[in-house]
Structure 1
């Protein structure tokens, strides 16, 4: 009953927060050169996003109620961790093998103070961490969830990052797609990963962030094939093209011809290199797209991590505005149904006679139900 009450409280809270998320023309215009990644309207979207995060924490999706979610997919070594690390401003686990072995729910939040706050949530516990140790903490938590080998698990791990200048975003990073198992991985690793990805991207409320390497033919990417299975027209798919500096010639044509139906468009980015700070990496990225003979021809509205951050926040706001009325309605319907079922249960029984009478009523209902089904 406590969970039902929590759902009721959250449904009311979401309904109370039904404010317009329509952006002004100035807010909606991506600006590659802005210093912070967050938008001026984060105070408007944060209460709604917080309410949705709370509903996700209550495992409402297990009740068949879908929540708007940005789902990050990509082939192994496509640069997912680099992109997400740049959005979060923290170092995530990286390597040549599969690094993301569980669904990683990333909750990013602009923090007004200069001191960041980070923690992990899994197995019912909250584990504080910091920018220096977050990658190690994620690896330790992943091992606790999925084991010390190279296998994967569908049990999620949540990373909360509160830091000045971050965009207000909640994303789910999924394991990178690999077709050939390496030593220590189960033989059906591809099927396991594909099943997890399809579970997350199939709901129409999901926004798919497809991470693609600039150096490959987009049509050959397995992540594109999977996303097209559930979103043929690409109306809820956004693509981020990584390592733009490694395949600059012809990149403009690849992102403008759009042969793989990316309905929400492309954003080209430069990956952070070596020990660069995130601020240095953004300056180098801005310089690259401004001065490179080929990359400078790409429209500035589709290049850079700041543009990606703003696009994601805008897409998320639109999705929240569209989905929340149905979420509230579905919660209330589910709550009414559960309360009705609870009310049909017998009251506190104090005597043997009352217990026998209640049992006979239940037995009678069961016989009636079986009679109708036969």
Structure 2
């Protein structure tokens, strides 16, 4: 529910869900909420994580946004999924885990606060209790001992307690507040509780104050994150090409791309500079070519035919009718020339690439 204080003569209520915005009013809002809930979660006892937002623009209401989560169900009833508890728990944890969230626990005055499941969940994500508030309902049903419960604070509710009385039957808001004020003034047990922690109006003011303080604490960090995101987007925007409005602009941009490509190829193939592609080994052409030629040279010198202690090219000499066996000055010169030619070819290949 999103409350917005607005000086308009007539309240404006809108239900928002699944990209829909349905206008309603105070007389039929309950019926419209039930219809929307049935559309989202079905008409059985199931639940849905799709949000249903009630926007209320009205003069005099506090500027406040609240999320009402399903009550915790441990044992599924007829028509509910077997894992209904896990579904509800996951939904609750999704909303209360963010550090920006304030966690108001709505608990009945009759239960033992130390065994309350919602407080236990709150303590999982807010161990110090700095984000946890307790709204104690049904104070009129169980007034005895309530003062001791809210003052002892055995479960570490950091933001404190507020005791309230629920509306009964068809009471209007004004009638309910009058009955509530009368209850906490006249009841022998409840009248001892301090006025600063009783009543729906006190709860509303406290929530608004807590929300304002939370926002003020988060603003510097939010501004920092926004500025960082803005600077990142501006930097990314500057790297994009400028808008082209003519053929000349397009040709200029095209020639610039061609020039950058040629420069990259020149660095890679001629000078062996790979700073543009430090991790792309496949782009290091010259270095890979040198490595391949070195490997070939090593293999060539390590093969049996290159052993100087053995006869060299004997079969070739015999086939040409030679009469001398072994190395000759002419053959040695020919081998040296072949070696120089291979080295020159290697240098030419490197230079051409």
Class of the TM-score when normalised by the shorter of the 2 chains? 0.5 to 0.7
**What is the root-mean-square deviation of aligned Cα atoms in Å?**
3.0
Q: Look up the match of 1:291.
A: 186
| CA–CA separation in structure 2 for the residues paired with 1:369 and 1:336 | 29
The equivalent residue for 1:110 is 5
Shift of 1:195: 1.1
Residues 332 and 275 (structure 1), Cα distance of their counterparts in 2 relative to 1, 3 Å cut: same
Q: Offset at 1:315?
A: 0.6
Q: Does 1:220 align with 2:115?
A: yes
Structure 2 residue aligned with 1:244: 139
Q: Which residue of 2 aligns with 1:275?
A: 170
Does 1:257 find its partner at 2:148? no
- Measured in 2, the distance between the counterparts of 1:336 and 1:137 equals 45
Does 1:308 find its partner at 2:197? no
**1:121 and 2:16 aligned:** yes
**Structure 1's 344 and 199: CA in aligned 2 closer, same or farther, altered over 3 A?**
farther
What pairs up with 1:333-352 in 2 under 5 angstroms? 333-341=228-236, 344=239
Matched, 1:320 2:221: no
Asked whether 1:235 is paired with 2:118, we answer no
Q: Where does residue 160 of structure 1 map in the other structure?
A: 55
What is the deviation of 1:348? 8.1
Matched ranges for 1:33-52 at <5 A: none
Residue in structure 1 matching 2:36, options 130, 137, 141? 141
Partner of 1:209: helix, strand, or coil?
strand
Q: In 2, Cα distance between the equivalents of 1:299 and 1:117?
A: 35
Q: For 1:244, what is the secondary structure of its paired residue?
A: coil
Q: RCO greater where, 1 or 2, for CA within 8 Å and sep 6 or more? A: 1
- Return 5+ residue gaps in structure 2 as ranges: 245-249, 265-273, 283-353
Deviation at 1:222, TM superposition (A): 0.8
Q: Which residue matches 1:207?
A: 102
Partner of 2:83: 188
Cα gap change, 1:332/1:300 in structure 2, threshold over 3 Å: closer, same or farther? Answer: same
After TM superposition, what 4+ stretches of structure 1 lie above 4 angstroms from structure 2?
Answer: 341-351, 356-359, 364-367
Aligned to 2:269: none
Structure 1: how far apart are the matches of 2:281 and 2:193?
Answer: 67
Report the secondary structure of 2:225's partner residue.
helix
Residue 343 (structure 1) shift: 5.2
Question: So what's the TM-score if we normalise by structure 1?
Answer: 0.64
Could you tell me how far apart the structure 2 residues matched to 1:312 and 1:199 are? 20
Mapped pair 1:174 → 2:69: yes
Shift of 1:265: 0.5
Matched positions, count: 264
Report the Cα distance in structure 2 between the residues aligned to 1:111 and 1:151, rounded to whole angstroms.
36
State the match for 1:330 in structure 2: 225
Given the superposition, is the C-alpha separation of residues 366 and 125 from structure 1 closer, same or farther in structure 2, using an over 3 Å criterion? farther
Q: Structure 2 matches for 1:16-31, cutoff 5 A?
A: none
Q: Distance in 2 between matches of 1:370 and 1:241?
A: 67
CA distance in 2, matches of 1:162, 1:314: 19
